[in-house]
Structure 1
Amino acid sequence: MTAHTLTLHKGQRTVFRDHRRFKVVVAGRRWGKTQLSKISICRKASKPKQLIWYVAPTYGMARSILWDELREAIPRAWIQSVNETRMSIRLHNGTRIELKGADKPDTLRGVGLNHLIIDEAQDIREDTWYKVLRPTLASTRGDVLIIGTPKSFNWLYDLYMLGQRGDHYVTKKGQRRLNPWKSWQFPTITSPFIPKEEIEAARGDMDEKSFRQEFEASFETMSGRVYHAFDRKIHVGDYAFNPKLPIWVGQDFNIDPMSSVIMQQQENGEVWIVDEAILFGSNTQETANEISRRYYRHMGQTTFYPDPAGANRGHSRGESDLDILREAGFKRLKYRRKHPKVADRINAVNRMFQSGDGQIRLRVDSKCKHAIAAFEQTIYKPGTREVDKSAGYEHPADAVGYCIDLEFPVREVTILGLSL
C-alpha cells in the first residue's frame, strides 16, 4: 500500500517529514492540525498490522473533529470494515485505526500502540498522558504526535520544552543524549488557508491575552489565578537543598496525592522551595517514610507544618495523622489549632512571591514540578473567590501555605478604625 495523497502546507510538511519518535505541535486555531492528523494516520496505516489511535479530550470531540474527514481521507480500496458506533476502521493489511476519548482513561489501558495522536492535548489531564497513554507506546516502541493550542504552562508546555532542547541534550549526570523529542510552535498566520483579514478581525474581537494564546500559539498564564504573584520567569531557578539549614515541610493530607513541600529559609530571609514529595494513592505513614528516607540525617532540624485537620483521629488504631508523624520520629510539628482563613493563607503566599514594595522572598527550584503547576494552574471558580478544586492542582500550594501562614502571616492593619 502507498499513502493516499493529501495536501500539506509548509509548516505541516516540516512536522510530517521529521522522524522523531515524540513530536509536539503547538499551533494557533485553524492552522491545520486536523489535516496533519489525517495524513499522519494514513502514512502509518499503509504499513501492515499497525494499531493506531487518535485521542481527543472526549469521545464526542473525536467524532466531531476527525471521524468523517478520516473516513474520506483513507482510500476505499484499503478498507475492510468500518464500525460507526465504535469509530473503528479495519484495513485489509491488518491495521486498525480507532478514535478514542480521554475522559474515561481507564478504558485506554492495556494495549500496545504503534502510532498515537493526541489532539487538543491542552484539555486532557496530565495523568492521562503519563500514567495511561505513554505506557501504551513502551512495548511496541510506538511514536506519538501531540497537538494542541496553549492553555497556560501545563503539561503540554513541559512536553513542548523537551522538544526545544535541540538534537542532543546533556542529562543531569553530564551524559550527552540524542533527543527523541521535537516540538514546533506555529501561529495561525503561518497557515496559507486563513485570510489575514480574518485574523485581524479576530484580534479586534478578543482581548490581547486570549488572542495571543488562541491565534499566536503563545503560552500565557491562566485567568483568575489564585497565586497571581507567581511568575516562573522570576521565581523558578536552581535553589538547591542546604544540609546546614533548618528544614520546613509543608504537609497537605489529601490522599491522592499526599503533598509534602520542603522549604528552607536562607540567611537573607528568603524562603526556597527546594524539594517536593508528591505521593499518589498514598497515606501518612508512606509520606513519613519517604521524608525519613530523604532526610534521615537531618531529622533533628526538620519541622512539619501540617494541615490542622491532621490532628483529628481518623485511623484504624485511633491515631491521628500527626501521631503517625511523631511516631516516625518527627517531633517538631507547628500548626494552628484551627484552619486559617483560606484567603489569609493565599495572601500570605502571594505576598512572599512579591510584596507591595516589590520584595521577592519565596523562590522555587525547577525540579518541583507539582508545586510550580499548583502556583500556575490553581484558579478561582468564575465570578467567585472560591478556589476551583476540580482539577486537583492546589494541594502542593496548600502545603506551602500552611507553613508560610504561620511563619509570615498577613497582619491585620487598622487605619482610622477600619480593619484592612
Structure 2
Amino acid sequence: MMNELYTPRKHQAEIEARLARFSVLVCHRRFGKTALSINRLIRAARETHRPDWRGAYIAPLYKQAKTVVWDELKKYCGLGRDDCTVKFHETELRADFENGARIRLFGAENPDSLRGIYLDGVIFDEVAQMPHKVWSQVIRPALSDRRGWAVFIGTPQGKNALYKLWEEGRRDPDWFTAMYRASETGIIEAEELAAAGREMSPEEFEQEFECSFTAAIRGAYFGNLMGEAEKAGRITDVAPDPSLPVHTAWDLGMSDSTSIWFVQARPGGTFAVIDYYEACGEGLDHYAKVLDEKGYKYGAHIAPHDIRVRELGTGKSRLEIARGLGIRFDIAPNIPVQDGINAVRSILPSCWFDATQCGPGIESLRHYRRAFNERMNDFGSRPVHDWTSHAVDAFRYFAVGFRRPGGPRPMKSVNDYDPFGRRHERR
C-alpha cells in the first residue's frame, strides 16, 4: 500500500525495493532519510495482520525525535485530512492505527528505558550518535521472538556504531547495505555542492556529503587518501600474482608488536598490498615460520635501521639472527619521521589493498594522527604513539626503502583500469 502523501525519489524507491530484514543506509545530508524511514514504518503498520504490531523510531535524543520526527510522522499519517483514522498521543509521541498497530518515538540517551518492550519494526536514525549497545543489548533481543526488522540510517561521524553496523552488514549476505554520496545521487545541485565545498573544511564536506568514515578523524595524516582509495574501489579483493615476488616491510618490536606488510610491485607503477600480519611478544623465529606458511615467492625484506643494534643477552643483532633464519633484510634509510610520512602520502594513490587480509593495517593507516592540544587549540608536530604506530611505521619503511629493480621507486598515480583481476566486486 503506497502512501499518497509520499512520493519516493529514484534512490528511495530503489532502497524500498531492496530492503532486507536488517538494512544499513549511509546517506548524505538532505537525502531524504527521515521521510523514507517514517513511511517504511507507516506502511508496515497499515499492512500488518497482527493486531498488536509495534514499531519504533529511535533518535539519539528524545528531544530530537520530538523536534525532527513527530511532525513528519503526523503529516505522513494524514493528520488534518478527513480520512485520517490515526490517533496521536502527544505526551508519549505515539501513533495508534485503526487496526491496533502502534508507532512510538524514542530517544537513545537512556538505553535502559527501552528494555522490556517488544518490537516488530524499528528505525535507528543517526546511528553514529548512539552507543552500539542500544542495538546489541536492548533492541536486538526485543525483535527476536517477533522476527522483527530494523533499518539503520545515518551520515558518518568517524568510526563508531554506524561504521560497525555498516561493516557487519557488508559481510552478511542476509543484510542490505547501501551508500549514497551527494556527488552520485544528483539530489543536491552541483552549484550548491560546490558552494558547500568552498564554505566547509575538506573533512567536513567529505563526511557530510561524501559519506566518508575516515575524513572526520582529527589530525589524521592519511585519512583523506584512504578515503579516496575506498571511494575509487582500491580497497577490495586483491589476489596475489604468483608470477611476481612478494616484498615485505617490517616494524620490529621488542616487548610490543611487530608488523609486516606484504606487497607486490605491479606493472604501471602500482602496488598490490596483498597481506598484513601483526603479533606481540614473539621472536624472529615465529615470524620466519609465518613467512614460510604463507608460501609466497619473496623478493626484498625491508627493516628499520635499528635492526643492526646488538642485543645484550646474545651479543647478536636481530639482523644477524634473521640471516641465520634465512631472512636477508635490506635496511630502510634513517630519515626524519615527517619525511617518511610524506613518502607514504606519495605512494598511497598507487596502492590497492586487500580489504580482508590487510584489514587491521588499513585501519591503522586511516587512524594514524597527530595529537591535538586542547589548551593550545592546535595539533602537535609529531604523531601519536598508539595501536596504529607499528603498522604505519612498517608501511613507512616500505615507502622509503623499496626500490624497483633497475631504477628508483616511481611516484605515479594509480591507473584508471583495474590491473589486479579482482575476484568480485563488493557491495
Could you say which residue in structure 2 is the equivalent of 1:348?
343
For the structure 1 residues 179 and 259, does the alpha-carbon distance in structure 2 shift closer, same or farther, using more than 3 Å as the test? farther
Determine which of 40, 55, 58 is the counterpart of 1:54: 58
- Does residue 222 in structure 1 map to residue 220 in structure 2? no
Please give the secondary structure, in 1, of the residue aligned with 2:65. Answer: helix
In structure 1, the partner of 2:81 is: none
* Pick aligned residue for 1:206 from 192, 199, 207: 199
SS for the counterpart of 1:384 is strand
Shift of 1:204: 8.5
The residue matched to 2:391 in structure 1 has which SS?
helix
Deviation at 1:343, TM superposition (A): 1.2
1:203-250 CA-partner distances (Å, limit 9, x unpaired): 496259579657755659838652366652386563516498355253
Match of 1:63 in 2: 62
Aligned length: 359
Q: What's the RMSD between the two structures over aligned residues?
A: 6.7
Alignment of 1:95-174 (within 5 A): 98-100=106-108, 115-121=121-127, 142-149=148-155, 159=166
Determine whether 1:296 maps to 2:302: no
Secondary structure at the counterpart of residue 66 of structure 1 = helix
| Greater Cα radius of gyration, structure 1 or 2 | 2
Distance 1:265 1:143, change over 3 A: same
Unaligned runs of 5+ in 1: 57-61, 164-170, 172-176, 355-359, 412-420
Residues 227-280 of structure 1: per-residue CA shift (max 9 Å, x gap): 366652386563516498355253486999x674431454879754211246xx
SS of structure 1 residue aligned to 2:379: coil
Q: Which moved more, 1:25-34 or 1:40-49?
A: 40-49
Match of 2:393 among 390, 398, 401: 398
Q: Counterparts of 1:203 and 1:210 in 2: how far apart (Å)?
A: 12
Alignment of 1:229-268 (within 5 A): 231-232=228-229, 233=232, 238-240=238-240, 242=242, 245=245, 248=248, 250-251=250-251, 260-266=259-265
Measure how far apart 1:55 and its partner are: 5.8
The 2-side partners of 1:305 and 1:51 are apart by 57
Change in 2 beyond 3 A, CA 1:338/1:366: closer
**Equivalences for residues 361-372 of structure 1 within 5 A:** 362-367=351-356, 368-372=358-362
2:108 aligned counterpart, secondary structure: strand
TM-score calculated relative to the size of structure 2: 0.53
User: Is contact 1:249-1:262 (8 Å) kept?
Assistant: yes
Contact 1:222 1:377 (C-alpha < 8 Å) held by counterparts: no
Q: Is the deviation greater in 363-372 or in 209-218?
A: 209-218
The aligned amino acid for 1:343 is: Q
* Aligned position for 1:8: 6
The alpha-carbon deviation at position 349 of structure 1 amounts to 1.9
Identical aligned residues as a percent: 16
Whether the 8 Å CA contact 1:241–1:274 is kept in 2: the answer is no
1:185 aligns with 2:193: no
SS, match of residue 25 in structure 1: strand
* Distance in 1 (alpha carbons) for counterparts of 2:134 and 2:288: 27
- Alignment check: 8 A CA contact 2:63 2:107 kept: no
Distance verdict in 2 for CA 1:312–1:55, change over 3 Å: farther
| Partner secondary structure for residue 240 of structure 2 | coil
Change (3 A) 1:287 1:40: farther
- 3-state SS, counterpart of residue 396 of structure 1: helix
Q: Are the counterparts in 1 of residues 244 and 297 from structure 2 also a CA contact under 8 Å?
A: no
| Helix, strand or coil at the partner of 1:20 | coil
